Chains A and B, each alone.
Chain A
Amino acid sequence: MLIALFADIHANREALTACLDDAAKEDAESYVFLGDLVGYGPDPVWVVETVAGMVDKGALAVMGNHDEAIFRDDVSLNPIARAAIAWTRLQLKDEHRTFLKDLPLDLHQDDRLYVHASACSPQDWIYTLGPREAFQGFRATAQRVTFCGHTHMPALFNENASQLPQAHRPISGQPMPLLMQRRWIAVLGAVGQPRDRNPAACYGLFDTATSRLTYVRVPYDADLTARKITAQKLPHALAVRLTTGS
């Protein structure tokens, strides 16, 4: 089965559309959304409705910290993110809020774990940035592969018998075998707000038959999204970073 994985969409309609089209072209059979459907971007309603529609048809989705911030006030966020959340709350209706609130923190499927930030206390939104965080993530789950997001930086870790796990910087488009006898944490890059100096949207394709994961980069009309952000009077920095991937 070919699974398409999307993390950190952040209400970016153009990026999600481009990634969904690409996944359909690759004949993806199943869809997983790894949290942060909203926040930062200008199209929260469209994104929530699109994802909810796909979940109705069998797609899986977990909650991210920005999704949580829609219905909780004590989520720690930086001022720009907070301003965007305040705007987003005004756009969403009860049905959207209910959908976000009902999302689980993590999901198990066969030998895989889907979680937004880390298997290690998912509600604390720990960034899986380096070997130490990855080590804790491995300790917190028995699943073979953890798929997560949250950092907006693509990375791949494998568990190591004798020392801390090492980060591998994935090369986009290169299918990588996640060897069956090892355990892995795959941090997907962001669909809607990449921060690795590559403005192209990032999503993952995982083939369960061969245990191969590909990080896919999809260029999209980031200028259009940036213009929408400006038009909605969302913080200007959010528009700028989309076009630079920073």
Chain B
Amino acid sequence: MAKAQLNAGMTLDGFVLQERLHRGGMAAIWSVTHPDIDFPIVMKVPFLDYEGDLSLLIGFEVEQMIMAELKGIHVPKLVANGAFTVQPYIVMEYIAGATLQKRMGGEVIPLDELTALAASIADALGDLHQQHVLHLDLKPANILFRPTGEAVIIDFGLSRHEKLPDLLDEQFHKPTGTTEYMAPEQLLMIRSDKRSDIFALGAMLYQLATGELPFGAPSKIKYVRQRVWRDPVPPRKLRPEISPALQEIILKCIDPMPENRFTNAEEMAFELRNLDLVEVTERGERLERSNFKTAFRKRMRVRKTMQAIQASATKPPPRAPIILVAIDLSDDLRQPLQEAAVAALANMPGARLACLNVMQTSLIAIDENVNEDGDNIHVNRMAELRTWAEPLQLPRGKVTFHLIESRNIPAGILEFAHSNKVDHIVVGAHAGSGPGASKNTMQIALEAPCTVTVVRLTEADRLAAAQG
């Protein structure tokens, strides 16, 4: 392989090098142009020298291989891969926004902005996982944002595609990663657990929220083990305005035991967007880390804990699907809808029920928040929703309640289903009352991203209801 000296103005396979945008430890990023490509692109060129670390070379092979498999808005679009025999490179779409690292550099981010940011990163991670890719080196420098707000994940040099040969696993027998954000199972060379990415995302969220790293910045990879027995300072101690719910989410992500974390990124995004629905435990409330004695005891047990982590990480995580039941409170379908919801839950072990009511807002009039009796409409509706679900006797955490406002009922339901990656929608045959109600149901059934169950009264039901 020729060790090419790259300069502005040079042409490589038709790509004209314009300007070096970034020079990192492992690669340089050049802005390039190509006569056939009409969107901004960059070229990533690795520093490869054969005296150096072989992992750089293999990391670059892995990145070329994995980027060719990935699609969608949450990764840069791949334009070309350069052959290893001439000059290896990757040409990809240029993402205009700053990295998360740069965004962290400025002043403290307000909490609501921060949770929205974290949720969009979780969306991106969920998308990556859906495409069978585990990133395994998530850190603020590897996350960018599009001008439209979507998070973009880059740098797949340590990644793993579940369906392709894992070139890194074959080659290396020592753990690799970024110590600040690395999950303990990665110390054990486990490269197959998506919850390792959840851990890294949690560590970033901790840093975003508090300005501090949850486990410091260990200088050696072996010190990563410390996070198994030493719990981090609770975020609320560092920034009291952090809600117990947010702390609960952060600490759940960075639990040493994979099975105690979120099972998938969608679930995490869901909780970040619905902080009021987070089931807060002692973990969310606590203001002090565990005392010295407890930490010492845990330290003595660290070998055993690592074994437990290994066992937990190699078990596939349970699926936690979401079943959405669109509830029309004025409807005579109450009981059949409840029955359909129970049946759907029984069909999807581990699923949770999201009870959704869409409040239709009018086009012209200014809606009143308070009804004639002076009660807050939202509070009332929420209480009615809870009453609706009461007979199902679902444990806390298995059911959530959502009230959204939309001018258009099916659009509201569909948007909720899309943004929360709902697995199954249960809806009455007349979604909303009044003329056009059955058209609403039809639209949901047509455009839903998942299975839809439409519940309808039989003639016998109707007669029974009329007589009863």
Where the two chains meet, the residues of A that have a C-beta atom closer than 8 Å to any C-beta of B are 156, 158, 160-163, 165-166, 168, 171, 174, 176-177, 179-182
Contacts and interface: CB of A to CB of B under 8 A. Distances in A.
Contacts of A156: 165
A185 to B, nearest CB: 12
Nearest to A212: B68
B163 A181 contact: no
- Give the interface centre of B83, B85, B171 by most chain A CB atoms within 10 Å: B171
Interface string B64-103: 1100100000000000000111000000000000000000
B13 interface: no
Given A156-B165, A162-B54, A180 B171 contact: no
Given A179-B61, A179-B65, A181-B61, A162 B84 contact: no
Given A160-B170, A162-B171, A166-B170, A180 B163 contact: no
A177 B171 contact: no
Nearest to B64: A179
Contact of B85 (A168, A177, A180): A180
A161 B165 contact: no
Contact of B165 (A162, A163, A168): A168
Interface string B150-175: 00000000000001111101110000
A16 B165 CA distance: 28
Chain A binding site: helix, strand, loop or mixed by DSSP?
Answer: loop
A174 B54 CA distance: 28
Nearest to B173: A163
A177 B61 CA distance: 11
B435 to A, nearest CB: 47
Nearest to A173: B163
24 contacts: A156-B165, A158-B165, A158-B170, A160-B170, A160-B171, A161-B54, A162-B54, A163-B170, A163-B171, A165-B170, A166-B165, A166-B169, A168-B165, A168-B166, A174-B164, A176-B163, A176-B164, A176-B165, A177-B164, A179-B61, A179-B65, A180-B84, A181-B61, A181-B85
A163 B83 CA distance: 24
Contacts of B65: 177, 179
Contacts of B163: 171, 174, 176
Contacts of A163: 170-171
B83 A180 contact: yes
A171 B85 CA distance: 29
Given A163-B170, A182-B61, 14 more contacts: A160-B171, A161-B54, A162-B54, A163-B171, A166-B165, A166-B169, A168-B166, A171-B163, A177-B68, A177-B164, A179-B61, A179-B84, A180-B83, A181-B83
A162 B50 CA distance: 13
